[in-house]
Copies of this chain bind each other. A is one copy, B any other.
Amino acid sequence: MVQQSTVRRGAGGPPPGVVTAPEDETVLTSRQAFDSWWEERRRSGRFRVTRIPFAELESWSFEPGTGNLRHDSGRFFTVEAVELPDGTGPPASQPIICQPEIGILGILVKEFDGEPHCLMQAKMEPGNVNTLQLSPTVQATRSNYSQVHRGGRTRYLEYFAGHRRGDVLVDTLQSEQGAWFWRKRNRNVVVRTDEVVPAHEDFRWLPLWLMHELLRVDNLVNMDARTVLSCLPAPSGPAAAPRHTEREIRSWFIEEKTRCDWQPRLIPLAAVRGWARTAHELGDAEGRQFRIVAVRVEGAGSREVASWSQPLLRPAGPGLAVFVTRRIRGVPHLLTRARPEVGLLDLVEIGPTVQLRPGQHPDALEPFVREVATGAAGRVRYDVLHSEEGGRFHHALTRYRIVEVGEDFPLDVPRSYCWITPGQLVRLLRHGHYLNIEARSLLACVRSMR
């Protein structure tokens, strides 16, 4: 493929509006090269995010009657509410973000000198703690790329959906945060090309080993990049006998779904109970979960339009996601847990060993995983703070941890848990509705463990 790209180098002009550089100059081959490009991108961006009262949102308003927060165009997303099960008395409820359209998260891959590289983007998003994070080549809702808000076209989309489409390595629909999104899914795509790709200043080719290194940095690789990376086919290791066959895993998973027979329902935001709305925010009475806030965004950079306002969901604190890993007959396994979440399309997906939302305390965990969650037991192999979706959440951080345990950790686990190898998880990711976003983020991190 390298040969072919050399042959074709220089053929065809760049699309109008794309700044080009010779492709060699856009491949970052060291951590130093990355750091200096990143610093330069960070300084060149002008981006200001200001909290505003709801009344100052442009084109967004609380719909009369339902109270749902929506855009005048009917597009993008709405904030509505959902009933939660609780067994006794009237069900509790919470706000939830509804975004029915399926977007694309796509990473373009190309080999240079036999090594796979990802075309990554320095992308500003209003909810990120540090604004700029490393994102997939394409990260676009349908509204984005059909240009509902009259911004520019989506760069590189033609490699995923158009006439330049390359070899598809990954193409799968995956869920996002089931606690905050109502049935949101995105198409996770990896495409391999051998064309010469004109490089915009916000984009660089990063070798896969460098991506893994950057995954060990706090708040750098964004959620969308992590989920796409998690779906990459795993390098086939030595033949290893996993604890369970894939059929057994599917049976276990169906059994867990079967035991969960409630059906969450959307209700109007006006009907939500236990949440209070001020001019500036809508939050739970105890301040333990999250608030819906409004921001104005002003800036110039890689965003499609220069200025807009929008609602964001702001969690009350960081979450925690932990995978326990253990060798079983010499083969590394991850301890997964089937977990219902109110916003998941099929309600139950496979999550990490431990997953705590803001406001959930480790004391509520089952004893056999509590010490691992708090770091009191096991050997911490990975411990990084990552950001969740910066286009919908405001400063939403999750602490991602992988903790290795020894042979004293029980192999027989309660029925909602299951030992699965990373390779088995990646094969399940060919299909949707299996792994939740937290488990996928951690799966990407597993590959970056030293």
Contact = CB atoms under 8 A, between A and B. Distances in A.
Given A100-B263, A257-B102, A263-B100, A247 B433 contact: no
A173 B101 contact: no
Contacts of A431: 250, 431
B102 A173 contact: no
Contact of A254 (B172, B263, B346): B172
A219 to B, nearest CB: 30
Given A250-B171, A250-B172, A257-B173, A433 B430 contact: no
Given A254-B171, A345-B345, A100 B262 contact: yes
A257 B102 CA distance: 8
Contacts of A142: 258, 261
A266 B346 CA distance: 16
Contacts of A254: 171-173, 187
Interface string A17-30: 00000000000000
Nearest to A102: B258
Contacts of A187: 254, 258
Contacts of A433: 346, 432-433
A168 interface: yes
Contacts of A150: none
Interface in A403-450: 430-433
Contact of A346 (B168, B265, B345): B345
Given A250-B430, A254-B187, A261 B172 contact: no
Nearest to A170: B247
Contact of A261 (B100, B248, B346): B100
A435 B426 CA distance: 23
B266 A265 contact: yes
Interface residues of A, number: 29
A321 to B, nearest CB: 25
Contacts of A257: 102, 173
A326 interface: no
B430 A171 contact: no
A185 to B, nearest CB: 9
A183 interface: yes
A251 interface: yes
A101 B263 CA distance: 9
Contacts of A248: 168
A345 B101 CA distance: 15
B261 A102 contact: yes
A345 B247 CA distance: 23
Interface in A143-196: 168, 171-173, 183, 187
B345 A168 contact: no
B102 A251 contact: no
A373 B203 CA distance: 52
A251 B172 CA distance: 7
Contacts of A258: 102, 142, 187
A101 B260 CA distance: 8
A431 B431 CA distance: 8
Contacts of A250: 171-172, 430-431
Contacts of A183: 263
Nearest to A431: B431
Contacts of A266: 265
A183 B261 CA distance: 12
Contacts of A263: 98, 100, 183
A345 B346 CA distance: 7
B101 A261 contact: yes
A65 to B, nearest CB: 14
17 contacts: A100-B262, A101-B261, A102-B257, A142-B261, A168-B251, A171-B247, A171-B251, A172-B254, A173-B254, A187-B254, A187-B258, A250-B430, A345-B345, A345-B346, A346-B433, A431-B431, A432-B433
Given A168-B248, A172-B254, 10 more contacts: A102-B257, A142-B261, A171-B250, A187-B254, A187-B258, A247-B430, A250-B430, A345-B345, A346-B432, A431-B431
CB-based closest 6 A-B pairs: A171-B251, A100-B263, A101-B261, A102-B258, A431-B431, A100-B261
